[in-house]
Amino acid sequence: MAHRKTVHVRRVYEAPAQTDGTRVLVDRIWPRGMTKEQAHLDEWCKQVAPSTELRKWYSHDPDRFAEFSRRYRSELKDPEHVDALAHLHDLAQDRPLTLLTATKHPEISEAEVLAELLRG
C-alpha cells in the first residue's frame, strides 16, 4: 500500500504551526504586506503557480473552481512546471509539507489543487 503524504494548505498570513513541516509559498506574486521574516518560509516555489492568464480568468470565483482545477492540472504537465512539481513531491516524501497561499479562500486555490495531486 502506498504511503499517503501529509500535505497541508494554509494562508501565508496565519502563524506557523508545529505540524507544518516544510513551508512553501506556491503563489506567483509575493503576498501583500508580508515580509520574508513574517512568512516563515522554507521556499518560494513560484514556478509551480498557475499562468497569469489562468489566474486572472479564475479570479477565485468559486463557480469556476472545477474548471480552474482542470485547466491548472493541464498546465502542470507543461515542461516549465514539471520540475517544480517533482520538487514538491520530493519535499513531501519524508515529512509534512505545507503549501502556502495568500488567497482568502485556500480551499479553492492552486495550493489545494497541488495538495490533492501530491497526496495522490
- On whether residue 40 sits in a domain, the answer given is yes
- Give the C-alpha separation, 34 to 95, whole Å: 26
Q: What is the pLDDT of residue 4?
A: 66
- On whether residue 1 sits in a domain, the answer given is no
Determine the structural domain holding residue 79 and report its residue range.
7-119
- On whether residue 56 sits in a domain, the answer given is yes
Task: Give the number of other CB atoms < 10 A from CB of residue 66.
Answer: 10
- On whether residue 99 sits in a domain, the answer given is yes
Domain count of the fold of the chain: 1
- On whether residue 2 sits in a domain, the answer given is no
Handedness of CA 21, 28, 57, 68 (dihedral sign): negative
Q: What is the pLDDT of residue 1?
A: 39
How confident is the model over 5-34, as a mean pLDDT? Answer: 95
- Give the C-alpha separation, 5 to 25, whole Å: 18
User: Is the pLDDT assigned to residue 50 strictly greater than 90?
Assistant: yes
User: Is the pLDDT assigned to residue 87 strictly greater than 90?
Assistant: yes
How confident is the model over 48-60, as a mean pLDDT? Answer: 95
- Give the whole-number percent of the chain exceeding pLDDT 90: 91
Confidence label for 5 from pLDDT (cuts 50, 70 and 90): confident
